[in-house]
Amino acid sequence: MTNPNSLWQNHLLNSLSVAKCDRFFPHLELVEVSLGDVLYESGDEVRYAYFPTTCIVSLVYVMESGAPAEIAVVGDDGMIGVSLFMGGGTMPNRAVVRSAGYAYRLRAPILMQEFNRFGGYRTGTLHDLLLKYTQTLLTQIAQTAACNRHHFVDQQLCRWLLLSLDRLHSNEMVTTQELIANMLGVRREGITEAAGKLQQAKLINCRRGHITVLDRQGLEARACECYQVIKTEADRLLPAPQPEPMVSHIPLPKVGHSKGEALIFRHE
């Protein structure tokens, strides 16, 4: 049985050969993150790249009024910290944990050393992989903006649930309607009404602090085209996850804790 906290659970790390991982594998550090932990605030220097295995992180833009809106979601499909190799070096938005779990983190200089190993040319496996992932992330950001502008709240909710489901290892998620409303930038009453419709159609079951997806195919049928656009682009650009390899000759990653040297802090 695959260990959900194995580094291979992250699709990007999973896509690298053992030989490629050998150089920075020992520098990866497993950290536990909790619901509401903020990995980065907008403008923070990116000191670590995070590769989630079981947690989900929202990339959130916060308005001057303090109102948040989710622009993308990252789970075991990707990483936090693409601005490192895009040349920015700082986070353009808040990165907040919206599903507790684990992630591997890697110090920025180590990631950049591997990224630039081939002199900046697109001949490095990690270099090519991370640029392709960045394109999928940009697609998600753009499609999310279009969806939030043009589609009904229940369609937005379907997209949000499906994107979450793709990054979870269960059909149940721990969340609240208030949190979803904040992420989508809509009123809580709108989410309550939309969730009620989906529950009446027996697509989901809502209880305090939990949402269970009962019929994924039905949820996809109710969603707008935005979810499929995001998924299709990711499937086109990124390799499908492979079975966990048998690895015995490389050192184990370190096991850390999120409240240590990391930038994580609790957002109230």
**Nearest CA-CA partner of 103 in 85, 125, 80, 128:** 80
Domain limits at 75? 7-120+242-266
Would 36 be classed as within a structural domain? yes
Distance CA 192, CA 229 (A): 26
Tens of pLDDT, residues 225-236: 999 999 999 999
Residue 19 is predicted with a pLDDT of 65
> Domain count of the chain?
1
Tokens 């195919």 found at: 217
Residue 120 is predicted with a pLDDT of 46
**Nearest CA-CA partner of 26 in 2, 54, 7:** 7
Would 95 be classed as within a structural domain? yes
From first to last of its 268 residues, the chain has per-residue pLDDT tens of 456 578 889 999 988 876 666 778 889 999 999 988 999 999 999 999 999 999 999 999 998 888 889 999 999 999 999 999 998 889 999 999 999 999 999 999 999 988 887 654 445 688 889 999 999 999 999 999 999 989 999 999 999 999 999 998 889 988 888 889 888 889 999 999 999 999 999 999 998 888 999 999 999 999 999 999 999 999 999 988 877 765 544 445 555 544 434 444 333 3
Cα angle: 134, vertex 68, 170; to 5 degrees: 65
CATH number at residue 103: 2.60.120.10
Its pTM stands at 0.87
Count how many residues are written for the chain. Answer: 268
**Mean of per-residue pLDDT scores for the chain:** 86
